[in-house]
Structure formats: C-alpha cells, structure tokens
Structure 1
C-alpha cells in the first residue's frame, strides 16, 4: 500500500525564494557567494552541507549539498575522482540522517536544469527528512528492472522496462555495504554526460533520485521535459518505442 498523505508547500516562504530560471529574487548566485552562507553543517573542500535557507515543505528537515565552486558546470563534466568524492560525502550524510531514526524516511535527490523543478543553476543536491511519510511505500521492485547496459560484481546499470513515471529512466544499483560507491559514482557520471550530450533529443534537464531499500542503494536518473498530460491527468505511463536503441547507444558509447 502506498502513501495517501500529502506534503504541505509553504507559499509564504516560497515567495522570497530566489529562482534563477524565472529570474525572481536573484541578483547573484547565493551558492557562489560562500562567505554569506549560513547554517553550514559540514564542509570538505568544494562540498558544503547546509540547512536550506528556504524550507518550503512543512514537517520536513531540508538540507542542501553544494557540489562545486563553479556555477557553469554539470555532473557529467566532473573528473572520476571528483565524482567519487562528491558521492561519498553526500551518501555519508544521507545515510547518517536516515540512521538517526528521527524521520519517517529521508530522501536524497538532485535537480538540474530548467525543466527539473529546480530553482538554481549552481550544481547542488538535496537531502530531506520527512516527518510523516515513508517514501519506500511508493516504490516497487519493478521500477528498477530493465534492459541491462552494464553489470559487474558490484554494480548494475539498466534502462527501466516499467519506469516509475514513464519514458526513459536509467537505474544504477549497488549493495549498501558502500564498497561499490565508487562504481556508482563512475557510472552515474557517464549516464549524466550521455543525457546532456548524446541523448536522442536535446536534453538540458534531469533528476537523480536515490533510494535505500532492501540493503541496496538504488539510483534513478530521469531526463526531464514537459510532463505528459496522460500521466498528469490519468496516471497513464508511457515507454519509448526506441528503448533498445537508447540502451544500445549508451552501452556502445560509455560501457565498451
């Protein structure tokens, strides 16, 4: 059984939130101007974990991870070592907050680009502790099964046969002993680079969602465009007629 609860969006906080894509309440990037950051929890070189200055969701604990000093970059451009360090820093804090037991569940995700639901271009991720909602009740094993693109002893990369929301969803799956985090980081970087540079249509936005379920860390990467009206109005999901070609191209370009 899934969740039937709704999160409450706090409009009075959102009205003051800067939005770079809509050019609202912003003169300069707040994440570039590091000397003005407040409520910093941890810092390791370019990586900063801090409380979200605009916690727009009621009954949650909202944190931001700033990924880099540079506004004009993306995850696909990071070096392999940089990406490994970022994922280790981020996952460490996500799992630490989850293990605290203070929240019903803890979500960890990334928005990138104007169609992703994000508000700032500067590369960042978010960790949100949910007081009253267990996200795992909405998740089915089927969402992470699909066309195999890459498999090693520690990591599986595939393209969903039954995507959570429809069309193209890439999955990266490892055991949660954390031994394979470097492989997750390495393969996640490849998938992001593919989406932003070699996907079969022009793509400038994506989401990454992390899940900790059944002793595994699962990562789902979704290119983002305008949402399908069939999904919004009827809950009808779609898959692409060229899913095999998408998987084959990613495999040929990045996993040979």
Structure 2
C-alpha cells in the first residue's frame, strides 16, 4: 500500500538548534562564513543543503532570506521582496523540473506556533521522493472573497473554504512569468497578520503550490490548532470573513 506519511528522523531532530524560544542559542544562519553545502547565492540570499535533514526519503534545503537576523517578510523593501520571492520560485521550480522528485514543497515558518525552530528569516524547499502534495490540494481551498486583483494578473483572496480552518489568505498567479503584485499581496497578508489581525499573533506559515499552470501562496496565521481539526479533520469557517476582507481592503487598498 502506498504510504501517505512523512517519516521524521528523531535522532537527527534532537540535534537541531532552537532559537525561537531559546534566545541564548547562537544563530547558525548569522555565521555566514561557517555555512556549508551552499547551492546558490544572490547577495544576502543563500540557498543551501539542510544540515539537519530530519525527513526521510526527501532532499531538504534551506533558503536564508536575509543577513538581518531580525528581519521579516512583512517589512522587506520592495526591491528585496521581489529579489527573494523570484529567487525562491526559481529554485523551487528548478528542483521540480529535474524530475527526481514526486513533488517539491516550498514553505516558510515564522514564530513559536509555526512549527519552526530557527528565528532567523528563512524558507525551505524540500523534494519528496515518494509523496505528491497535490493529491490533497483541492481547488476550493484557494477560492474566497476577492480583496485585490489585477487584470490577467495576480489575485488576492480570503478563503471561504479554508484548508485547516478560520483565516487563510490566498495569492495566485500564472506560472508563465513572475508578476510583482504576487509578492506584494503576499507581503500585505503577512503584514496584516502581524500588525492588524483582530487576535494577537506572532506566528504564521506561508505554503506555495504549483498546480494546473498556476502558482499559489497560502498564508495562515497560526494559533493553537482547533481540536475539531486535529481529531476529526473538520475545518471551521468563521462568521466575520466579510468584515475582515473589507477591513484589509480599507487598510491597504483604499
């Protein structure tokens, strides 16, 4: 029977440094002269092989976003934002095109509830040998209330059928070429979560998907996950989506 699970190597996992909660931990990404297995560099942006490959049957890489340990996607200059997202998408799709992997994940953790361990801004690109993430990526999870869109260009929505539940922001663009508004909408979603969200949060995830000729980014604020989703896989849809969509449009697009 085909497996549907990723296997986590705990003997490697216990060796990983943790600097999100442990502020005394030296940041491994700040010691740039000591980094090894570097794949590509673009100024302050570095892609390298993950030193702690905890996932079995996978090829794991880390994308260090900046040389500023306290930087964040929400506050990058437009120049650095576009440079970073273009770099990430380029190497993500390049890994896909090798044909070595069943599918390739591209994602970002930020904050103590995001599932990450290093505070320094980074993303991960992971090639999976035996699993295809697209099997569970249904079109309806990217549908929602439109908050901004360009003619024949990127589209920014708030999910009405969220994947996990409650509030999920979606950005989509055609995969034929990079469009700047895609990254700018992504930055708006992250900035709104960290600065204007109605519930205090310091954690979020960004997940990228390449499906049917489109590139999607799903941005999720992270809280303690609802037990109804953990126990039964039941996503919940909040009653104030229309209010939130209007509030975000008022702040960023009015």
TM-score, scaled to structure 2: 0.97
Secondary structure, aligned partner of 2:41: strand
State the shift of 1:35 in Å. Answer: 0.7
Instruction: Write the distance in 1 (CA, Å) between the matches of 2:189 and 2:4.
Output: 33
Mind listing any 5+ residue stretches in structure 1 that lack a counterpart?
none
Instruction: Write the distance in 2 (CA, Å) between the matches of 1:81 and 1:221.
Output: 21
Instruction: Write the distance in 1 (CA, Å) between the matches of 2:20 and 2:65.
Output: 19
Matched with 1:213 is: 211
Matched with 1:78 is: 76
Matched with 1:160 is: 159
Secondary structure, aligned partner of 1:211: strand
Instruction: Write the distance in 1 (CA, Å) between the matches of 2:137 and 2:3.
Output: 14
State the shift of 1:191 in Å. Answer: 1.1
Query: Is residue 139 of structure 1 aligned with residue 137 of structure 2?
Result: yes
Instruction: Write the distance in 2 (CA, Å) between the matches of 1:238 and 1:58.
Output: 32
Matched with 2:102 is: 104
Instruction: Write the distance in 1 (CA, Å) between the matches of 2:195 and 2:229.
Output: 27
State the shift of 1:195 in Å. Answer: 0.6
Q: 1:240 aligns with which of 208, 225, 238?
A: 238
Deviation per CA, 1:207-230: give whole Å up to 9, x if none: 000000000001100000101011
1:251–1:145 Cα change, 3 Å: same
Deviation per CA, 1:2-48: give whole Å up to 9, x if none: x8511110000001101113439x73100011011010011111100
Deviation per CA, 1:128-172: give whole Å up to 9, x if none: 000000100111000000101001120110001100100000000
Matched with 2:187 is: 189
Q: 2:125 aligns with which of 124, 127, 149?
A: 127
Matched with 1:69 is: 67
Query: Is residue 170 of structure 1 aligned with residue 159 of structure 2?
Result: no
Deviation per CA, 1:98-134: give whole Å up to 9, x if none: 0110000001000000000000110000000000001
Instruction: Write the distance in 1 (CA, Å) between the matches of 2:178 and 2:117.
Output: 33
Q: Once superposed, what is the RMSD of the aligned Cα atoms?
A: 1.2
Matched with 2:22 is: 23
**Number of residue pairs matched?**
252
TM-score, scaled to structure 1: 0.96
Query: Is residue 224 of structure 1 aligned with residue 222 of structure 2?
Result: yes
Matched with 1:42 is: 40
